Amino acid sequence: MPRILMTGAAGGIGTSLRKLLPPIYPDLLLSDLKAPADLGKDEKFKAADLADLAQVEAICEGVDGILHFGGYSVEGPWDSILQSNIIGGYNLFEAARKKGVERIVFASSNHAVGFYPRHHRIGTDVTARPDSRYGVSKVFGEAVGALYADKHGLGVTCIRIGNFGEMPLDHRRLSIWLKPEDLVQLCRIGLDHPDIHFEIFYGASHNERAWWDNHRAYELGYRPTGRGEDFREHAMAEQAKLKPDPVGDYYQGGTFCSMEFDGDKDRIVDWSKR
């Protein structure tokens, strides 16, 4: 059985996957800055600060594959993003190389391409248009992943996660919702599929309103079971409670695009037409 390391075990995604992964990967090692409050007696945990290379090397010892969900998971101050996602992301790949890890699944984000307009369907090979410092850090992580795949032979899969949860919570999330069990599918492709070298997938379930072309994931066996439209009435009812957002409602990144936005709202740039 392979030993799999999952960083970010105390976060929202990590907490959910801790319940779904053990039947698939029994030898699962969890890590975060601090142990989850509800850590079970049968769960294996090692604390590590991603910004400290020595600590990251220690958790990578004897590991075959990594699910990297650790880091700063929302927009925040530059120094927080720098330490957790930029330095921490580099340290994760470098420690994996040193310790002979074979596969890494990197949790990227839709915010790496958030400044594409909602009416424009995009693939995984588009130019990055991050909508935040957080989005910039995910573009960086994808680039480091490509470097370590091409130069050092790691098998790397980057998943641009949409909205992870039990159901889509508003109009935007009908297009980008990701059911937890579908994320597990994508992780398994990244860890186990023999053809993985470097891939980017969109982390989305079967959403009829999708803005993303995710054909490569489907070619490698992805068969999502979640369907966003099953929750349309709930999502639209929640959307009705929200205030209009001229910037966020136009771009795929939503409020990540409109926060701190001080450009001319009458001249919102549609990069796809330039």
* Catalytic (active-site) positions: 134
Q: How many CA atoms lie within 13 A of 86 on its CB side?
A: 13
Separation CA 79–CA 95 (nearest Å)? 22
Separation CA 266–CA 51 (nearest Å)? 41
Nearest in space to 30 (alpha carbons), one of 52, 73, 63, 53: 63
DSSP summary character for residue 265: G
Report long-range pairs for 79-85 (Cβ below 8 Å, ≥24 apart): 81/133, 81/134, 81/136, 81/137, 83/50, 83/51, 84/50, 84/51, 85/134, 85/137, 85/138, 85/140, 85/141
